[in-house]
């Protein structure tokens, strides 16, 4: 079967079997073409809540599927490739968080959404890269323990000098591979391009950027800007999608190490097999886990 034929079958099957397909922006273009909703993990979870279908396929990594299931517990949520996990989400366990809380008893625990559902049950509030600054500015605590991504945490800290932060030294292995030297080299090659980076990048990279923001923020900035060239400091797929959406502009990947192999595990065939009932994994979460991880997510939603 050709890619177009598989996509056609997927479109037919999802209608017939009452499935909604969510495609994270880091997925390949052939997957985004058959998705009902595309975007970042938080936006997708909200879209899933509004969707009418009983079954949801989350094309992304495991923690994203867990957030979808937490916000839509009455739906069947499937991960097309059960191996697709996020290494950052695995850096801390719930027990680690409990130990950190004992060490910092006066701090509110704020976790990035890129964490497991189990870890979330030990946290006070969840944030995304696009909402972290606003949520923590209004959050009723002056002392924040920010986990697990210290790069995102330090970027938030800079914008909230009135708050006191402590960090865990975790982070995204994909974004952390980029160094200042990559920036200098890329700027030399593309002197007219603006540099747009994700706050998961190291501080030495972010401080050289023209814009720092979430995946959604980077895409919106590049589309709106009058500039014609951009160096993109986030996952490679974003360059592909931007180039497709803005053919009159040029996009360069900051470094070829910006490829998240975990995000690339999911293929169109995995989605097809999940619809056929021959693959994928339905995410099963206990009521206790759903209600425990919902509490800090709810604080984010209500902020
Ligand atoms: S890009 Fe980083 S944070 Fe996102 S899924 Fe990959 S490893 Fe996890």
Report the C-alpha gap between 207 and 93 in whole angstroms.
31
Is residue 298 included in any domain, yes or no? no
Residue 237's domain comprises 175-253
Is 233 in contact with 176 (CB distance < 8 Å)? Answer: no
How far is 256 from 192, CA to CA, in rounded Å? Answer: 20
Q: What does the pLDDT average to over 223-234?
A: 97
Q: Residue 127: is its pLDDT beyond 90?
A: yes
End-to-end CA distance of the chain: 48
pLDDT of residue 41 exceeding 90: no
Same domain, 54 and 19: yes
- Whether 54 and 93 map to the same domain: the answer is no
Query: Where among 152, 172, 192 does a domain terminate?
Result: 172
For residue 175, the CA-to-ligand 1 centroid distance in Å is: 8
Q: How far apart are CA 203 and CA 96, in angstroms?
A: 25
> Mean pLDDT, to the nearest integer, of 119-126?
98
Closest approach atom of ligand 1 to CA 174: 2
In a domain, 147, yes or no: yes
Residue pair 272/35 in contact by the 8 Å Cβ criterion: no
Q: Is 61 in the pocket of ligand 1 (CB under 6 A)?
A: yes
Q: What is the pTM of this model?
A: 0.94
Q: Is the CB of 275 under 6 A from ligand 1?
A: no
Both 140 and 212 in a single domain?
no
Same domain, 99 and 143: yes
Q: For the chain, how many structural domains are there in total? A: 3
Residue 136 sits in the same domain as residue 187: no
State the closest ligand 1 atom to the C-alpha of 262, by its place in the atom list counted from 1: 6
Are residues 192 and 159 located together in one domain of the fold? no
- Residue 168 covered by a domain: yes
Asked if omega into 148 is within 30° of 0 (cis), the reply is yes
Claim to verify: residue 51 and residue 114 sit in the same structural domain: no
- Which residue CA neighbors atom 2 of ligand 1 most closely? 172
43-91 pLDDT tens trace: 888 898 889 999 999 999 999 999 999 999 999 999 999 999 999 999 9
pLDDT digits (tens, 9 = 90+) for 189-199: 999 999 999 99
Mean pLDDT for the stretch of residues 215-244? 96
Closest Cα to atom 1, ligand 1: which residue?
A: 260
Of ligand 1's listed atoms, the one at least distance from the Cα of 114 is: 3
Atom index in ligand 1 nearest the CA of residue 149 equals 3
C-alpha 178 to ligand 1 mean position (Å):
14
**Domain stop point among 143, 172, 201:** 172
In the prediction, which pLDDT does 149 show? 98
What is residue 190's predicted lDDT score, i.e. its pLDDT?
98
What's the pLDDT score for residue 14?
98
Q: Which residue has the higher pLDDT, 124 or 48?
A: 124
The closest residue, in CA terms, to atom 6 on ligand 1 is 260
Angle at alpha carbon of residue 90, lines to 89 and 91, rounded to 5°: 95
| Pocket lining: 88 vs ligand 1, CB cutoff 6 Å | yes
Nearest protein CA to atom 8 of ligand 1, as residue:
86
Residue 212 near residue 163 (C-beta atoms within 8 A): no
Report percent pLDDT > 90 for the chain: 94
Q: What's the gap in Å between 86 CA and the centre of ligand 1? A: 5
How far does the centroid of ligand 1 lie from the alpha carbon of residue 61, in Å? Answer: 8
- Residue 303 in domain: no
Cα separation, 70 vs 295, in Å, equals: 10
Q: Based on the fold, state whether residues 77 and 103 are members of the same structural domain.
A: no
Last residue in a domain, options 150, 172, 194 = 172
183 plus 167 within the same structural domain? no
**pLDDT at res. 172:** 98
Is 31's pLDDT higher than 90? yes
Tokens standing for residue 165: 């932060």
pLDDT value of residue 302: 86
Mean per-residue pLDDT for 254-267?
96
| Mean local confidence (pLDDT), 133-138 | 95
242 is a domain residue: yes
Is the beta carbon of 289 within 6 A of some atom in ligand 1? no
Residue 258 falls inside a structural domain: no
Any ligand 1 atom below 6 A from CB of 87: yes
What CATH number did the domain enclosing 10 receive?
3.40.50.10800
Ligand 1 within 6 A of 260 CB? Answer: yes
Q: Is residue 180 part of a domain?
A: yes
* Summary mean pLDDT of the chain: 96
Percent of the chain with pLDDT over 70: 100
Which numbered atom of ligand 1 lies nearest the CA of 234? 1
pLDDT at 45: 84
44 Cβ below 6 A of ligand 1: no
171 CA → ligand 1 middle, Å: 9
Q: Is residue 104 part of a domain?
A: yes
Please compute the mean of the pLDDT values over residues 32-37 and round it to a whole number. Answer: 96
């Amino acid at each position: 079967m050709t890619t177009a034929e598989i996509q056609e079958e997927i479109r037919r099957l999802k209608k017939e079997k009452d499935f909604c397909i969510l495609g994270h922006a880091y997925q390949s273009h052939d997957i985004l073409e058959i998705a009902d909703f595309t975007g970042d993990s938080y936006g997708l979870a909200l879209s899933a809540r509004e969707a009418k279908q009983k079954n949801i396929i989350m094309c992304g990594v495991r923690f994203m599927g867990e957030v979808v299931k937490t916000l839509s517990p009455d739906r069947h949520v499937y991960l097309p490739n059960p191996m697709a996990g996020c290494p950052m989400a695995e850096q801390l366990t719930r027990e680690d968080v409990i130990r950190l809380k004992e060490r910092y008893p006066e701090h509110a625990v704020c976790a990035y959404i890129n964490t497991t559902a189990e870890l979330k049950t030990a946290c006070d509030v969840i944030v995304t890269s696009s909402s972290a600054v606003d949520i923590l500015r209004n959050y009723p605590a002056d002392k924040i323990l920010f986990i697990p991504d210290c790069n995102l945490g330090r970027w938030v800290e800079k914008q909230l000098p009135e708050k006191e932060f402590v960090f865990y030294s975790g982070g995204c292995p994909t974004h952390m591979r980029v160094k200042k030297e990559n920036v200098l080299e890329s700027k030399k090659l593309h002197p007219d391009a603006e540099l747009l980076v994700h706050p998961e990048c190291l501080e030495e990279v972010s401080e050289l950027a023209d814009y720092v923001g979430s995946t959604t923020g980077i895409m919106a900035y590049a589309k709106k800007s009058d500039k014609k060239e951009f160096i993109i400091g986030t996952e490679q797929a974003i360059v592909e999608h931007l180039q497709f959406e803005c053919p009159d502009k040029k996009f360069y990947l900051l470094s070829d190490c910006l490829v998240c192999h975990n995000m690339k595990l999911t293929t169109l065939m995995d989605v097809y097999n999940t619809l056929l009932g021959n693959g994928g994994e339905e995410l099963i979460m206990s009521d206790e886990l759903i209600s425990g991880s919902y509490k800090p997510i709810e604080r984010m939603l209500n902020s």
